[in-house]
Chain A
């Protein structure tokens, strides 16, 4: 079993976007998740790969079904 997820920083602190098991997830479901991932990217989010504490921001990266991803909203100097 290999479970992965997409979560995003939000006004709720941390919100789940999707969670799946790579051994059982269907192709259709993965396509749905990828569409949601791309929607967040289009809204200005940056994905961070936090699988096994990698903690790496990956601007512009494509959806990786084998990664745990945290979506970071657009940032600016404050």
Chain B
């Protein structure tokens, strides 16, 4: 369960149930197949879903962005988006809930991939915490010892916000 206030930090952005048969509605129907009742309730009430991770905790927003938390501190905001679809249309044609679903799935089962790929905009207060997560990831990787150090350094080449 999220700590008190974790979801309220999203502000008063209420989730609007999409118009039936719209692109957003189809994405919403997909999420309904996947989500627990609690997660669905969080999305509908707070326009976001709390995910407890191993490296940190997260609030994935319906718009697709993510707030990264450690304890009760916001340490960064993250952005991971779907790229150009294979039908040749452009990035922005994906409805926001598609980005939300992608972020939700990554953070549920491939948290390491999130840290590898997402662009994190680090809050001043969170800089030390983000570095802490990076060190933890590096130590873990060294223990596993399956990938050469150089590759791991490349792995950690996500962009930190200025």
CA A11 to CA B111, docked complex, whole Å:
25
If the complex has contacts A53-B34, A72-B82, A75-B83, are A9 and B27 also in contact, measured as CB distance less than 8 A? Answer: yes
CA A40 to CA B85, docked complex, whole Å:
10
* Interface size class, chain A: 20 to 34
Do residues B81 and A13 form an inter-chain contact, with CB atoms below 8 A?
A: no
B15 interface residue per 8 A CB criterion: no
B119 interface residue per 8 A CB criterion: yes
CB-CB contacts below 8 Å: A1-46 with B: 7, 9-15, 40, 43-44
CA A32 to CA B101, docked complex, whole Å:
27
Do residues A77 and B158 form an inter-chain contact, with CB atoms below 8 A?
A: yes
Do residues A75 and B80 form an inter-chain contact, with CB atoms below 8 A?
A: yes
Chain A residue nearest to B96 in the complex (CB): A13
CA A15 to CA B30, docked complex, whole Å:
10
B117 interface residue per 8 A CB criterion: yes
B-contact bits for A64-78, CB 8 A (1 contact / 0 none):
000010101111111
Contact among B33, B36, B89, B106 for A75, CB-based, below 8 A: B106
A-contact bits for B24-57, CB 8 A (1 contact / 0 none):
1111111001111000000000000000000000
Chain A residue nearest to B108 in the complex (CB): A55
If the complex has contacts A9-B27, A13-B23, A13-B25, are A75 and B102 also in contact, measured as CB distance less than 8 A? Answer: yes
What would be 6 A-B contacts, judged by CB atoms less than 8 Å apart? A9-B94, A13-B27, A48-B105, A50-B33, A53-B33, A55-B105
Question: Known contacts A13-B28, A74-B82, A77-B118; can you find 19 more A-B pairs with CB under 8 A?
Answer: A10-B85, A10-B87, A12-B26, A14-B26, A14-B29, A44-B83, A44-B86, A55-B34, A55-B104, A57-B105, A57-B106, A57-B113, A72-B105, A73-B83, A73-B102, A75-B83, A76-B80, A77-B158, A78-B81
